[in-house]
Amino acid sequence: MRSVQQYRGDDFYCDVAIPDPGSLDVVHEDELVLAFHHTRPFWTNHIVIVPKRHIASLTTVSAADEHVVRRLLEVVQSIAADTERTTGAAAVLTNLGEYQDSKHLHVHVHSGPHR
C-alpha cells in the first residue's frame, strides 16, 4: 500500500483511503460512507467525507446513486453540525472539474483559519 503522504494518483479515496482506513484518523465509517481528518488539512479543522462506492463527482451523480448520496449527505450534515457546535462555525465544500484533485466525489467540512 502506498504511503498516504506520498500518493500521486488521481483517486486517493479508491486507491488508499477506502481500502485502508486504518491509515487515517477516521471520524465515521459505515457500509456506504467514510469520513476522516484530511491527511493534508487546509484549515485548522478539516474533515473529508466520501462515498465508499466510486462516484466521480457531484455532477455525475445518477438516480442509481441516490441511496449512497442520501447517506453521504446525512453524514455531512452530522459532521457539520458537530463542527459548528464545537468550533462556532463550519463550511461545507465540494470541488468540481479542475478544482477536484481526487476524481472521486468528496465533501470537505471545515472551520478555523486556513493553514
**Is the CB of residue 86 less than 8 Å from the CB of residue 16?**
no
Q: What is the pLDDT of residue 4?
A: 61
Amino acid at the residue 18: I
**Is the CB of residue 35 less than 8 Å from the CB of residue 49?**
yes
Which helix (H) or strand (E) segment holds residue 91: the answer is strand 91-93
Could you tell me the three cell numbers for 8?
A: 500521486
Instruction: State pTM to two decimals.
Output: 0.92
Q: What is the pLDDT of residue 13?
A: 96
Average pLDDT value for residue range 12-28: 95
Average pLDDT value for residue range 43-58: 97
**Is the CB of residue 38 less than 8 Å from the CB of residue 48?**
yes
With a pLDDT cut of 70, the percent of the chain lying above it is 96
Average pLDDT value for residue range 82-95: 98
Residue 54, number of CB atoms within 10 A of its CB: 13
* pLDDT score of 1 more than 60: no
Q: What is the pLDDT of residue 9?
A: 83
